[in-house]
Amino acid sequence: MANLNASSPLSLKCTQINLQHCIAATSLISQQLAAGHTHAVLIQEPWVGQGSVKGLSRKWGHVYVSSDQTPRACIYTSKQVTATKLTNFCFRDLVAIKVTVGRSCYILCSAYLPYESPTPPPRQLMELVEWCKSNNLPLIVGCDANAHHTCWGSKDDLLEFLISSGLDILNRGTKPTFVTRNRQEVIDITISNSWSSHLVTNWRVSSEVSMSDHRHILFNLETGTVPVEREYRNPKLTVWSTYKDILSRNVGPPVRPHTIPQIESSVKNLTKAVVHAYEQSCPVRKVRSRHSVPWWNPELLTLRKKARALFNRAMRTRTNADWDLYKEAQRQFKSCIKRSKRDAWKEFCESIEDLPAASRIHKVLKKDQDCRINDLRLPDGTYTCTDRETLELLAALHALKSPRITSQVVLECTNSLAALGQKNKVRLVWVPGHSGVAGNEEADVLARKGSSDTLTGPEPAIGLPYNYPLGSIDNWTREKCQEDWSRGDRVAAGQAPD
């Protein structure tokens, strides 16, 4: 969880698409994200294998999805955009994240409304809309409505919900978002609340081939971030002949220093001359944020252009012959994607010559590259809503594990336990305390809640009943007395042994 980095653009380029579990359509989305054509993708019906989302490379971005089996909604963002997953609003058919840009927050949501649902919208979407309304947060939802609209012959439940909740439909024009040989409909909609309607610009349906019956929906989310281009120098590209010439001119003949100020002045002048010579002989380069997947090649680019041209012709003529030509071009494009990915992987594997290198790569591939801090569960069962709350809770939990003691409440507890130990002649040690960490007050609240049976933090932390330490002390005392009696020692009843 963080902000957009310094090189982020003025607007966040977003894409909305129903992939229909298609491998080729998933590969195209991954390629577009790697090339920098989009920053966030609101996905419905992703490619799922063994209960998890597949095909979206973690090398180029992050995947936000619920832990449910066979999810039908997810969000894929580039590494330029770091966001927080709203765990309280992540389900099989709905996923929401919070993107932070400067001091502003934006909620992006991908929702799938199944056609078998009798009463859309789902309860989770209604709760998300209400939560954004109560917190004055901009909300943008990419939704596959599956014809749940009066305009498409369904009941008016969805339309009534949009009107009563103050939501706007951002779709512009009549260009269909779902296209097949026999059907051309608008079933994919983008909705927003009153805080984000003016932030969404350039909404359009793309004419590019998506390898799915659903078209790519593109729009920009205006964030107002000022772009800052990052620059760097590569020492390997230094022109060393130029460097030597400039350095020899700037340094001049050597002079023997005799005093400390003269030594310091000589060091300062020499350092300045070295830096100036390096800057003049090593060119400045700008950081390029665009990448490319290893399997993309000119042949795929040509086939995509061909498929797009045939699709546009089929849309104009609407004849079976043109649709057959488009479907054939689409099959060729899909086959070429599969072959190119297989060849790229084969070439990568053949480049590994020795076993240690293969072992290292195997370990890298096994690691989860998508590890991020999301919102955390509070003791009352709810989740943190802001980054500040998440950090405060983490600081409190960390403070409880610190071995040092400085908090006033912890010191009072330590003194009470020490007094109890002296009175009963039982040695007690306070473990652990905490100190020097932001969030001590929250840690004290959690410590006080430890006297109940309720859960006070993430697993495996559990509540500690108040009578538990007292019972442990009593049991220890009784066992000690029995040991002394067995040795022949005599201790008055009710008195703790020495």
Q: What pLDDT does residue 110 have?
A: 94
**Helix, strand or coil for residue 478?**
helix
pLDDT (tens digit per residue) in 433-457: 555 555 555 555 655 555 444 444 4
**Helix, strand or coil for residue 347?**
helix
Q: What pLDDT does residue 453 have?
A: 44
Query: What is the arithmetic mean of pLDDT over 302-315?
Result: 89
Least confident of 43-57, 279-293, 342-356, 467-481: 467-481
* CATH fold group of domain 11-227: Deoxyribonuclease I; Chain A (3.60.10)
Evaluate whether 334 touches 24 at the Cβ level (below 8 Å): yes
Please state whether beta strands 139-144 and 188-192 pair in parallel, antiparallel, or not at all (unpaired): antiparallel
Query: What is the arithmetic mean of pLDDT over 37-46?
Result: 91
**Spacing of C-alpha 379 from chain mean position:** 24
pLDDT (tens digit per residue) in 180-217: 888 888 889 999 998 888 889 899 999 888 889 999 99
pLDDT (tens digit per residue) in 400-440: 555 555 555 555 666 666 666 565 554 444 444 555 555 55
How far, in Å, CA of 332 to CA of 344, rounded? Answer: 18
Q: Which two tokens stand for residue 441?
A: 């007050």
**Spacing of C-alpha 163 from chain mean position:** 32
pLDDT band at 346 (very low <50, low <70, confident <90, very high): confident
pLDDT (tens digit per residue) in 135-193: 889 999 998 887 555 444 445 667 777 777 788 888 888 888 998 888 888 889 999 99
Q: Over the chain, what is the mean pLDDT?
A: 75
**Helix, strand or coil for residue 412?**
helix
How far, in Å, CA of 167 to CA of 143, rounded? Answer: 13
Q: What pLDDT does residue 352 have?
A: 65
Q: Is the pTM of this model over 0.75?
A: no
Element (H, E) at 266: helix 260-281
Please state whether beta strands 139-144 and 104-112 pair in parallel, antiparallel, or not at all (unpaired): parallel
Q: What pLDDT does residue 196 have?
A: 87
Evaluate whether 374 touches 87 at the Cβ level (below 8 Å): yes
pLDDT (tens digit per residue) in 374-410: 677 776 767 776 667 777 776 666 655 555 555 555 5
Whether the predicted pLDDT of 313 surpasses 80 = yes
Evaluate whether 433 touches 406 at the Cβ level (below 8 Å): yes
Residue extent(s) of CATH 3.60.10.10 domains in the chain: 11-227
Q: What percent of the chain has pLDDT over 70?
A: 65
pLDDT (tens digit per residue) in 218-244: 999 887 755 556 778 888 888 888 888
**Helix, strand or coil for residue 12?**
strand
- What is the CB neighbour count within 10 angstroms for residue 168? 15
Instruction: Write 477-485 long-range contacts (CB < 8 A, 24+).
Output: 477/424, 477/426
What's the DSSP call for residue 495? P
